[in-house]
C-alpha cells in the first residue's frame, strides 16, 4: 500500500523537527512524490549527506511503500 503525502511529511518532520517540508504528489497516484526539505540540520552537509538524512527519516519506506521521491534539500540561508 502506498504512503500518502501526510505520512511522508510526518516522518521527515519527526526526524528533522526544525525542517520546512513540502510534499507534492506528481501524478496523483499516491506513488510518485516530490519533496522539498529545508533544514538547519543540513548546514555544512553535502547534498548526498542531506539526502541520506531524509532517507533515514523515511525508515526504509523508500523503494517499498514509497516508490519514487524526487528530493530537493537545502539549509536555510541564515543557518
pLDDT at residue 14 in the model: 96
Do residues 23 and 8 lie in contact, with contact meaning Cβ atoms separated by under 8 Å?
yes
- Report pLDDT for 28: 79
pLDDT given for residue 24 in this prediction:
94
Res 79: pLDDT: 54
DSSP letters for 32-73: EEEEEEE-GGGTT--HHHHHHHHHHHTTT-BTTTB-EEEEEE
Task: List the CATH number of the domain containing 21.
Answer: 3.30.300.90
What is the domain extent for residue 57? 5-74
Please check whether residue 12 lies inside any domain of the structure: yes
Q: Is residue 21 part of a domain?
A: yes
- In a structure prediction context, what are the per-residue pLDDT tens digits for the chain, which is 79 residues long? 677 889 999 999 999 999 999 999 988 777 788 999 999 999 999 999 999 999 999 887 766 667 788 999 999 988 5
Amino acid at each position: 500500500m502506498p504512503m500518502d503525502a501526510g505520512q511522508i511529511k510526518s516522518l521527515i518532520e519527526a526526524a528533522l523537527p526544525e525542517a520546512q517540508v513540502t510534499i507534492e504528489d506528481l501524478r496523483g497516484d499516491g506513488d510518485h512524490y516530490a519533496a522539498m526539505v529545508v533544514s538547519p540540520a543540513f548546514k555544512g552537509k553535502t547534498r548526498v549527506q542531506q539526502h541520506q538524512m531524509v532517507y533515514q527519516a523515511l525508515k526504509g519506506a523508500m523503494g517499498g511503500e514509497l516508490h519514487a521521491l524526487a528530493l530537493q534539500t537545502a539549509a536555510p540561508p541564515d543557518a
